[in-house]
């Protein structure tokens, strides 16, 4: 029995929607039968927090609940803070995988840059662990997570079985659909947010405030090798993501340019 317990995968879970969000609860529900779970998640919404850290404020943290195979902490910090706190203070052993999500909203294409869900997964990768981010392309609090359920544990077990090269993670997005055609491995689609600023009336000062809004315009909707194409066609999109964001092609061309013509 004890040996069997030790063989269960040990996962560190976080998200950017808060420890009580339905996406995270869905993950817990589906993974708990087969894995031991440590959840360290924000105490409220942190959408759009990217890989931000609390550099100038301390982080409050409280134990929400602890039972066999499931411990939950809620913190005042960012998603990345949560992963750092989990790994430095709360883990019982080295996790087999860091799992972030399920995000209520789309983290494909350039959205991955702003995503706190991806921030948490990326932090796992930066700390030397395999890491997976799950997102559903539906921002509603009552989004339907049922169709995702059969896929969550298989993805987690596959990620642990295969492992990941250092400084990489998986960004997995599910389309808003009643069922999925399968899994497509694709690249990050090129897109651009436009018309992003809306004026916002203050009760006393007109237009002194702005809301971020707008929409994401696809720049290559026809390309069939992207995460966006996969989602549009009801596939689950897996985008292999590098934490080494050096542009190696540009590196070689700049080396040549700066050798030919020094800056000063």
Q: Give 194: exposed, middle or buried? Use CB within 10 Å, 0-12, 13-18, 19+.
A: exposed
- CB–CB of 170/164 below 8 Å? yes
Q: Residue from 64, 91, 110, 223 that binds a copy of itself (CB under 8 A)?
A: 110
Q: Which is nearer to a copy of itself, 193 or 232 (CB)?
A: 193
Report the DSSP pairing between strands 70-75 and 197-200: unpaired
Residue range at the interface with a copy of itself (CB under 8 A); choices 27-35, 64-72, 92-100, 250-258: 250-258
Distance set, CA 107 to CA 77, 89, 91, 156 (Å): 21, 29, 27, 18
* CA pair distance 156, 42, nearest whole angstrom: 22
Residue 231 sits in the site that holds a copy of itself (CB under 8 A):
no
Residue with tokens 């995270």: 24
Distance set, CA 106 to CA 172, 176, 240 (Å): 10, 9, 16
Residue 56 sits in the site that holds a copy of itself (CB under 8 A):
yes
Q: Residue from 65, 94, 215, 251 that binds a copy of itself (CB under 8 A)?
A: 251
Nearest approach, Cβ of residue 36 and a copy of itself (Å)? 22
Site size toward a copy of itself (CB under 8 A) is 82
Angle at 80 between CA 217 and CA 23, to 5 degrees: 65
Nearest approach, Cβ of residue 119 and a copy of itself (Å)? 7
Q: Scan residues 2-41 and list those touching a copy of itself (CB under 8 A).
A: none
Q: Residue from 6, 149, 158, 206 that binds a copy of itself (CB under 8 A)?
A: 158
Q: Which is nearer to a copy of itself, 2 or 247 (CB)?
A: 247
Nearest approach, Cβ of residue 5 and a copy of itself (Å)? 26
Q: Residue from 18, 69, 147, 240 that binds a copy of itself (CB under 8 A)?
A: 240
H or E element, residue 237: strand 236-242
Q: Residue from 95, 122, 124, 130 that binds a copy of itself (CB under 8 A)?
A: 122
In the shown chain, the binding pattern of residues 161 to 200 toward a copy of itself, with x for contact by CB under 8 A and - for none, equals: -x-xxxxx-------------xx-xxxx-x-xx-xxx--x
Phi, psi of 224 (to 5 degrees): -95, 10
- CB–CB of 84/123 below 8 Å? yes
């Amino acid at each position: 029995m004890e040996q069997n317990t030790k063989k269960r995968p040990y996962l560190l879970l976080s998200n950017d929607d808060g420890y009580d969000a339905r996406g995270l609860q869905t993950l817990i529900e589906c993974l708990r039968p087969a894995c031991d779970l440590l959840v360290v998640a924000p105490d409220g919404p942190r959408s759009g927090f990217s890989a931000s850290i609390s550099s100038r404020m301390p982080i409050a943290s409280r134990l929400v609940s602890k039972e066999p195979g499931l411990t939950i902490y809620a913190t005042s910090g960012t998603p990345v803070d949560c992963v750092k706190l989990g790994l430095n203070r709360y883990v019982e052993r080295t996790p087999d995988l860091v799992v972030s999500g399920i995000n209520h909203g789309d983290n494909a294409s350039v959205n991955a840059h702003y995503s706190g869900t991806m921030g948490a997964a990326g932090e796992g990768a930066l700390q030397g662990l395999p890491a997976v981010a799950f997102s559903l392309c539906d921002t509603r609090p009552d989004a339907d997570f049922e169709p995702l359920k059969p896929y969550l544990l298989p993805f987690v077990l596959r990620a642990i079985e295969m492992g990941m090269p250092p400084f990489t993670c998986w960004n997995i997005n599910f389309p808003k659909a009643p069922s999925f055609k399968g899994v497509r491995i694709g690249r990050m689609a090129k897109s651009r947010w436009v018309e992003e600023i809306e004026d916002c009336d203050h009760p006393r000062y007109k237009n002194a405030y702005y809301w971020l809004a707008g929409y994401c315009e696809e720049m290559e909707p026809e390309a069939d090798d992207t995460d966006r194409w996969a989602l549009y066609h009801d596939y689950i999109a897996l985008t292999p993501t590098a934490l080494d964001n050096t542009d190696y092609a540009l590196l070689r061309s700049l080396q040549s340019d700066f050798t030919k013509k020094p800056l000063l």
